[in-house]
Chain A
């Protein structure tokens, strides 16, 4: 309403300064709105994390400070469950394996489809986004029989990577698709091919290096997903980091080590993504 009256007055004044003054007022109001929103959401996002951090630093007596829980990360062990550090190792190894398999499976296939089998592009997209539609818990119900067969060979929790690649597909696909559509794949491959490059060289040495940022993006999203995965490990009775934290919290409620480890894992993921965000900006700025 205020804006309308201001506008009605301006023809009489007929000055160029008037609309700008109105914009200034709106800008100021918008800024107040933005600061309020950022503060409220900042608190909403930060408080649970701060509570977790504070709790991880809780001493033996309530209200005191101590680093015990953080030191325990490396040494914590409880009866009936494997040591914490071993599940951290397994989870990190899982993250690496999942990333590698995802890259080897997805990058060449996506480039190949883009170059040679365009009619499969739509199918590929649907297949890659399908895991968003099929909840992990449904996947577990169906995977039970398949994993029972694999378990005959007495394999470790590392076998979870088979499913984790599927879970990571939508995120990795989107990141890679964005990178792929940003470069002129056809021209690059034609140039390389006419200079005598094999298809392998085209994919691995010409196109893939041009989508480095997208590949990095896909890797980090995949790693973050593996670090936080609980459902499948828990239901297939494998032991990964999240499952271990859950077991500890059930055995020993309010164990400080649960909070220190959780916080460390979260911090790890956050630093990774922050690095990515800055790395992406710098490259854009240069180009």
Chain B
């Protein structure tokens, strides 16, 4: 579809737009410049600075500091929290998405849940930590959970709160794409409900599910506000340690700690998001 549009629009404006002296791409310069200054430049600074020592001299050996036990500990903490919250969020979100998709496509329940998901998926800020503090924290109204300040269980539960809605938003289109006819066809061939999910529905939805899982992982990895408001004394995960490093340069000597940790995060997210893109492409094959 996109390719067809390309050839059409590509050919015609050359006839109509002769009047303009400047080439057409000049119109995109403001946008490109903005993105370059506020997105590409900062990222470039992080990469370059992480490979320098504080005096400004090149030090490629910095990268080996990512293997430093202290640094590794934060990455392991991040990894634990991300796996816990993304797996629980993806499974629960998929169940909820299925329940939503199997109802009236224009019903109130569906619209309400989609609107709520839209808000709550963004609701990862400090507010969320406050909400759980008064629900199950030491001053909780529901219970006083003794594990509230345990890492990663307490914070994992809090993260699940914004992971589930995100999964619903990501996974719902995939479930909507599963056609009733497939179910009917497999039933006519004598398949049980379990057989349908095992051999038809499951494999069809698997790429979309795994894609959603990876997106949730990346989402949890970059979250900072919630955990900062949950517990600000001890740093468990990489973003917290970056924050500490930014306000006080202690810890590793001779390294731009914040930049190095940030570089590690970029690498981690890049791997995850590449997997996500590949899975999305695979999932899209069935959905059109």
Residues of A within 8 A of B (CB): 1-4, 7, 26, 30, 33-34, 37-38, 41, 44-45, 47-49, 51-52, 54-55, 105-106, 108-109, 112-121, 124, 127, 130-146, 162-163, 165-166, 169, 186, 190, 193, 199, 224-225, 228-231, 234-235, 242, 245-246, 249-250, 254, 258-259, 262, 265-266, 269-270, 273-274, 276-278, 281
Report B-chain residues with C-beta under 8 Å of the C-beta of A44: 161, 164
- B55 CB–A CB distance under 8 Å: no
By the criterion CB–CB under 8 Å, are B16 and A193 in contact? yes
By the criterion CB–CB under 8 Å, are A186 and B8 in contact? yes
Report B-chain residues with C-beta under 8 Å of the C-beta of A135: 221-222, 224, 239, 265-266, 269
- B13 CB–A CB distance under 8 Å: yes
Interface of A is mostly: helix
Given A44-B161, A266-B119, the answer on whether A3 and B45 have CB atoms closer than 8 Å is no
CB contact list, B118-171 vs A, under 8 A? 118-120, 122-128, 130-132, 134-135, 139-142, 161, 164-165
- B252 CB–A CB distance under 8 Å: no
- B202 CB–A CB distance under 8 Å: no
The closest CB in chain B to the CB of A270 belongs to B119
Question: Which of A51, A143, A245 touches B141 (beta carbons < 8 Å)?
Answer: A51
By the criterion CB–CB under 8 Å, are A190 and B116 in contact? no
The closest CB in chain A to the CB of B12 belongs to A190
A217 to B27, CA, bound (A): 24
Report B-chain residues with C-beta under 8 Å of the C-beta of A142: 41-46, 49, 262
The 4 A-B residue pairs with the shortest CB-CB distance in the complex, in nearest-first order: A142-B42, A135-B222, A230-B225, A48-B131
Total chain B interface residues with beta-carbon distance under 8 A = 89
By the criterion CB–CB under 8 Å, are A48 and B128 in contact? yes
Given A116-B17, A135-B265, A269-B119, the answer on whether A37 and B246 have CB atoms closer than 8 Å is no
Residues of B within 8 A of A (CB): 2, 5-6, 8-10, 12-13, 16-17, 24-25, 27-28, 30-32, 34-35, 37-39, 41-46, 49, 92, 95-96, 99, 102-103, 106, 109, 111, 113-116, 118-120, 122-128, 130-132, 134-135, 139-142, 161, 164-165, 187, 190, 192-194, 218, 221-222, 224-225, 228-229, 232, 239, 242-243, 246, 258-259, 262, 265-266, 269-270, 273
By the criterion CB–CB under 8 Å, are B127 and A245 in contact? yes
A-B contact pairs, 21 of them (CB 8 A): A1-B192, A2-B192, A4-B190, A38-B99, A48-B135, A51-B140, A52-B130, A113-B28, A114-B9, A121-B6, A138-B222, A139-B39, A141-B45, A141-B259, A145-B45, A165-B38, A190-B12, A224-B122, A231-B225, A269-B122, A276-B115
